[in-house]
Structure 1
Amino acid sequence: MSLMITDDCINCDACVSECPNKAISQGDSIYVIDPNKCTECVGHFDTPQCREVCPVDCIPNDPNNVESKDQLMQKYQKLTGK
């Protein structure tokens, strides 16, 4: 399942540089995560790095983009060519 950023986001920029897939970008009022690029860091790290650095804990799972670990790994392989 990809992740999402809630309205609790304070636009601190901490998550942007942590995303290995460059899935996080500035939206209209808060940062947003592109579900086509988010692998929850599967293939890169054991845990989602954006969650690790978020000071307000505003990055839950996106219920509209449910994916298994296998699907996330396939997306990682497609994105990285590995």
Structure 2
Amino acid sequence: MSIKITDECINCGACEPECPNNAIYEGGVEWAIADGTSIKGNFTLVDGTIVAADQRNAPVAVDIYYITPNKCTECQGFHEEPQCAAVCPVDCCVPDEMYVETVEELLAKKEKLHI
């Protein structure tokens, strides 16, 4: 399952540089699969939509930092726990129950993002 940032976020930005997948963005900033990855061409999102890797997508949140579930792997294959949650001073990085994924699915997503 992906991690999400709740409304308790204080916009400190501590989480953003900790993400090995570049899945965390400042509120209001558009995101792309290609950001911080070597992905080129087309990419299949979590919902099955195929997009260009460099396509700019609408922000998930406007007022607080957010995590795109299309790039979040809960740090599987990198760390033993999600690093955003480990550094968050207000504990607002929590599992996103809308995006339930197995460890195998998260590791497969990691491999797709880091080819």
Task: Kindly report structure 1 stretches of 4+ aligned residues shifted beyond 3 Å.
Answer: none
Matched, 1:5 2:39: no
The RMSD of aligned alpha carbons is 0.5
TM-score normalised to structure 1 length:
0.96
DSSP-derived class of the 1:60 partner: strand
Larger Rg: 2
Question: Deviation of residue 43 (structure 1)?
Answer: 1.1
More strand by share: 2
TM-score normalised to structure 2 length:
0.69
Q: Which amino acid aligns with 1:45?
A: H
Question: Deviation of residue 26 (structure 1)?
Answer: 1.1
Superposed CA deviations along residues 53-75 of structure 1, whole A, max 9, x for unmatched, are 00000011001100000000000
For residue 32 of structure 1, what is the aligned residue in structure 2? 66
DSSP-derived class of the 1:35 partner: coil
Question: Deviation of residue 46 (structure 1)?
Answer: 1.0
Q: Which ranges in structure 1 are unaligned for 5 or more consecutive residues?
A: none
Q: Percentage identity across aligned positions?
A: 56
Mapping for residues 4-23 of structure 1, pairs under 5 Å? 4-23=4-23
Superposed CA deviations along residues 13-63 of structure 1, whole A, max 9, x for unmatched, are 100000010000012100000000000000111111011100000011001
Q: Which amino acid aligns with 1:44?
A: F
